[in-house]
Each structure stands twice: as C-alpha cells, then as structure tokens.
Homo-oligomer: A and B are copies of this chain.
C-alpha cells in the first residue's frame, strides 16, 4: 500500500465524522448581505478557526471593515513551495423559502446528494480543504507550505479582500493560488478553469423632468425618455448583434490555438444548453460557437429596464425618466477603463439636446486568463485524473471572478480555479446541492496536488 492509498483509506474512514462536521458548518446561516445575520457570519468564521486550530493549523480571525477573514496555515519549511487556497464561508440569502424541498439551513442527504444553502457555494469546498490539510498533515503528507484564506464577503462582492491581501502581501506570499469555488464541466468530468471574463457595469438614465406626466395631456409635445433610451440601447449592437462601441473589439486577444482546438472538440449539447437556459435558444455574434461566445468573446447585455408604469393593465403615463442597467463582459486584453470611455462617448453622441442623459459606471473588473502550462495547473491536472479517472478539461468561463486578477496581482502568483460542484448546483437558488462523495474526492485530489506541487518549480523563489 502506497502512502497515497493509505491516505485515501483514511479519508474514506473519516468521512462519516467529516460529514457530520460539514453539516454543523452548513447549519450556520452566514448570510453576508443581511445585517441581521452579522453575528452568524462571525460565528461561522469562529467555527472555522476553531476547527482549523484542532487540525493543527496556525489560525487567526482577521478583522476587516466588514466580515472577518479566517487564515489558517501550515508551515513546512522555508524552501518548500507555498500554496494559498482561497474559499468563502458566507452564503447567499435562501429566499424564496417555500421553493426549498428541505429547509436551507438543515443540511439533508437524499440519494447521495447533499442539499442546503452553501452546499456547493462554497462551504463543502472550504471544508474539504480544511479536512484534506488536517489528514495530510497528521500523516506527514503535507510537504508544502499551505495558507488557507476563507473570506466572509464573497457574496457581496468581496469589498474588503483586495485591500486585505495587498496589505498582508508579505505574509500571504505564495507561489501558487488556488481558488476553490467553482464546478466541474460535467458529472464525472473534472475541469480546470483557465480564464473568466471581466466586467464593466453601467447604468444609463434618461430624464426629461421631475415627475411623470399624463400621456394625453403631454403626449407628442415633450420628449419621451423611454424612446430616447430605446434608441441608445438599440444602437449598441449592429443587425448581427456585434457590439458597436468604438474600438470595442480592438484589444480582444485570441485564446492560445491549442486551447481553441480543445474547446471546439468539447461536446456541446444544444438541447441541454437550452434546458439550462430556461428554453432560450443559443444565438449571438456570427462566426463563433456558443463556447467561444462565452469564453473568448466579449458581450454587452441589458440587465434591466425601468420606466413609467410596469404593473398589470394600463396606465396612461408619460414617464419622466427611463433607466437601463447594462454590462459588458470583457475578455483579455480589454480594459474596463477604455470600455467606459467608449460607452460615454457613444451615449454622448446619441443624447438629444432636450433630455438629460447620465451614464454611471457601477462596477469595473479586468478579465483574467492564465497560462495552461503553469505548474499549479499541471499538478492539479494530474491529481484530478488520478481521482476521477479522467483527465480534466481545461475550460473558460463567461462569468466574472474579480478576486482572480486581484489575487494574481496582489500576490504576483498564477491563479488556478478548480472546484467540485456540478453543473445545475442551484448556487444562489433554492435546493442548492453538492454530491456528497465529492467531499472525499476533493480531499483526495488535494493530497495529490500537495505532492505534485512539492516537485514542481516554485513561482516565487526566495530572492
């Protein structure tokens, strides 16, 4: 029996006890967005710190202007590589409650699937990192320096994380950063995420006056802000749904040809895509596959419209204002600052003189993409293949993970994203779930990853 087989056995043996502990963690309603749950969020941080201390890790609860950050570390030696693993212990609100088959904060297992708020996002994945470190350490199989960093504000946009990491960069110095908060590409098919899109989120408001008017008494004699807004929004795409902002595509960089080829070879199930999209049909920029449209092409989407009367039936109101929320998803090397300038110039050109048009930037995040040959990716790929019996696919992701470029830049280390939830996990929705056996599989992946990294080159060698 090899060391790793013995560790696998130990993981399996410990599983019932570990599941019971994970359920404890899932019962804590650490809803970061709700001030009424602030004490629950802190209790969850303390629960994790206590548990990490028992695991033999050097642990602290670090204050931020918001919810605390838990740091737990194992120091192997000065010349061993350092892996920083990021996760978050806060969760989304559980509403609507009546859509849950079992209560969100009473973890329940049905047919091998664990249900509960945070089961996928991200408590099971946080917990398995802690448990893997504990078991590996106890058996002398943690040959690297490990820093676990668990934040409590991911679901509210990680407002305190960037500053914290920049301020503590020296003590958080790492060679590799793993973001343990995502899902596999398909059941049985592990994956490594190599890049995610950035974002420029805007609000455009068209205003004519202070209050809505009677559409009979004024209709045709004052400008209609909703019509002005519609003309602006309609102008943002051409007839083939390409974005028309000046220079929008100038900085778009193609993915490496090897990845592009791999992505074209990925199975794409149109029917499954459509089912996941609530029946919406695939469609977008001409000349690209759905995968490319999501992973390597930018997009501009209207996220919301509000103007005048939106209730049932009719109201003969002439709105005084019309508001659109819209966001660009950006790919390397697009820069949200340049996109913002293009948006402002575009809207300014179209805004009529007799209305007031305001553009507000609500959020800006750079896109992120890593080298698929980075040591962390190679080590993770080997570990995943051993545990799942299948080489991981290297994928992109259409969403935005602001912490990926932020951690990379603050720590000057390459970032990898790897997770064990499955597609359709109902993250942010009722009946969130996680395959219970993925707790052990995730741990088994991590103990192999530790070993693989030990032999890999260090990214930030001591200077």
- Which of A's residues lie within 8 Å of B, judged by CB? 196-197, 199, 201, 203, 208-224, 226-227, 229-231, 233-237, 241, 277-285, 290, 293-294, 297-299, 301-310, 313-320, 322-325, 327, 329, 354, 362-363, 397-400
Contact A398 B220 (CB under 8 A): yes
Contact B303 A314 (CB under 8 A): yes
In this complex, the member of A210, A223, A305 whose beta carbon has the largest number of chain B beta carbons within 10 angstroms is A305
Contact B316 A220 (CB under 8 A): no
Q: Given that A226-B302, A278-B211 are contacting pairs, would A216 and B398 also be in contact in the complex, using a CB cutoff of 8 Å? A: yes
Q: For the complex, what is the distance from the CA of A214 to the CA of B329, rounded to whole Å? A: 12
Closest to A311 in B: B304
State how many copies of this chain the complex holds: 2
Contact B223 A280 (CB under 8 A): yes
Q: For the complex, what is the distance from the CA of A397 to the CA of B196, rounded to whole Å? A: 57
Contact B304 A217 (CB under 8 A): no
Contact B223 A283 (CB under 8 A): yes
Contact A215 B301 (CB under 8 A): yes
Contact A298 B220 (CB under 8 A): yes
Ranked nearest first, the 10 interchain pairs of A and B with the lowest CB-CB distance are A220-B299, A216-B399, A209-B280, A209-B278, A226-B302, A230-B233, A306-B310, A304-B308, A234-B234, A210-B278
Enumerate chain B residues within 8 angstroms of A302, measured Cβ to Cβ: 224, 226-227, 230, 307-308, 319, 322
Q: For the complex, what is the distance from the CA of A217 to the CA of B182, rounded to whole Å? A: 13
Contact B303 A327 (CB under 8 A): no
Contact B301 A220 (CB under 8 A): yes
In this complex, the member of A197, A218, A278, A290 whose beta carbon has the largest number of chain B beta carbons within 10 angstroms is A218
Q: For the complex, what is the distance from the CA of A104 to the CA of B259, rounded to whole Å? A: 70
Enumerate chain B residues within 8 angstroms of A220, measured Cβ to Cβ: 284-285, 293-294, 297-299, 301, 329, 398
Closest to A317 in B: B303
Enumerate chain B residues within 8 angstroms of A234, measured Cβ to Cβ: 227, 230-231, 233-235
List 28 A–B pairs whose Cβ atoms lie within 8 Å, in order of A's numbering.
Answer: A208-B278, A215-B329, A216-B329, A217-B397, A218-B280, A218-B294, A218-B398, A219-B327, A220-B297, A221-B282, A221-B284, A227-B234, A227-B301, A230-B231, A278-B320, A281-B354, A301-B318, A303-B316, A304-B308, A304-B309, A306-B310, A309-B325, A310-B325, A314-B325, A314-B327, A314-B362, A314-B363, A316-B399
